[in-house]
Amino acid sequence: MSCVKVPAVRQFENLVHVSGLSSALIQDHYKLYLGYVHKAHELCCHHGQAVRQKRSATDNDLRNLKRDLTFTLAAARNHELYFSLLGSGEMDRPRLLSDAVKSDFGSFDNFLSDLTRTALSTHGWVFTVLDHHSGHLINITSAQNGQFPMWNATPVIAIDMADHAYYYDYGSRRTEYLNAIIRNLNWQNVVVNLQSALDAMMAAGLAVAVEKFGPVSDPSDAPATAELTSAHAAGV
Ligand SMILES: [Fe+2]
């Protein structure tokens, strides 16, 4: 087995600014993320060496190792995206994001409504992805913690809908948790992710990116005035 270079643990200083979630919940959740990264290191750097020495392509140990490594890396990556987007509370949304959402959902309220309904339909993850084939933003789910279910698409938002993400603070009140997360979303960081996805599409020569978005502008472009007219402004 080739040993991938497992990314280092990431710090998220922005989490101190999260409102609506207790510090105990956030710290426990972050510890869970640390566990995924440390397990990935352990699997790759220690168990991986032992498996390599057996040199058997049909060894069950290798199969199990790869399965566990896939799970831990994907779970770590999902949580990194989720944590990186929290703690803003800013209502302004960059124009690039507003235009993309309006094109695909008709309005930002429609997008938030679809994101909410999609999130509440799963006990795993909800992702907003930019599909490289169509150029559309789509809200999709993953039932499992360590999984991103769609290739050739870039996630720009990830929200953890597993029990461990909210139960300590909200019990079964999943809608309240979700509203808190949406109020905390850092739309500037979301558009940075969108920009990265567009750059990848442009670099790959995907015409749909140019047709839909035109020349890509600075992600810090003048924000569209974003008065949250939806129920999310006050909580659904
Ligand atoms: Fe989680």
Q: What is the pLDDT of residues 110-143, one digit of tens each?
A: 999 999 999 999 999 999 999 998 889 999 999 8
**Ligand 1 geometric centre to CA of 111 (Å):** 23
Ligand 1 centre distance from Cα of residue 205 (Å): 35
Query: Which protein residues have their CB within 5 A of the ion that is ligand 1?
Result: 160
- Counting residues of the chain whose pLDDT is more than 90, the rounded percentage is 51
217 pLDDT exceeds 60? Answer: no
Cα 224 to Cα 52: distance, rounded to the nearest angstrom = 54
Cα of 231 vs centre of ligand 1, distance in Å, is 26
Lookup: tokens for 3: 């040993």
All residues at 6 or more sequence positions from 79 whose CB lies less than 8 Å from its CB, including other chains:
29, 32, 33, 36, 160
Tell me the three state secondary structure of residue 140.
strand
231 has a pLDDT exceeding 50: no
Neighbours of 145 (CB within 10 A): 19
CA 109 to ligand 1 center in whole angstroms: 26
DSSP 87-149: S-----EEHHHHHHHHHHHSSHHHHHHHHHHHHHT-SSEEEEEEETTT--EEEEEESSTT---
CATH class, domain 93-214, is alpha beta
Q: Quickly tell me which residue has 């199969």 as its tokens.
A: 63
User: Is residue 174 scored above 90 in pLDDT?
Assistant: yes
For residue 84, how far is its CA from the centre of ligand 1 (angstroms)? 13
CA dist 87 and 36 (Å) reads 22
pLDDT at 181: 96
Q: Which token pair is 151?
A: 């290739």
Ligand 1 centre from 168 Cα, in Å?
13
Q: Is 14 exposed, middle or buried (0-12, 13-18, 19+ CB in 10 A)?
A: middle
Q: Where are the domains positioned within the chain?
A: 21-84, 93-214
Give residue 232's pLDDT: 37
Å from CA of 76 to ligand 1 middle: 9
**Token reading at 85:** 């987007």
Distance 32 CA to ligand 1 centre (A): 7
What is the 212 CA–ligand 1 centroid distance (Å)?
34
Report the largest interatomic distance among the alpha carbons of the chain, rounded to a whole angstrom: 61
Q: Is it the case that residue 226 has pLDDT exceeding 70? A: no
CA of 43 to the centre of ligand 1 (A): 20
Per-residue pLDDT tens digits for 51-98: 666 656 566 777 888 888 889 999 999 999 999 999 876 767 777 788
Q: State phi, psi for 127 to the nearest 5 degrees.
A: -125, 140
- pLDDT one-digit tens code per residue, 21-33: 999 999 999 999 9
What are the tokens at 26? 């956030």
Average pLDDT over all residues of the chain: 83
Q: State the pTM of this model.
A: 0.84
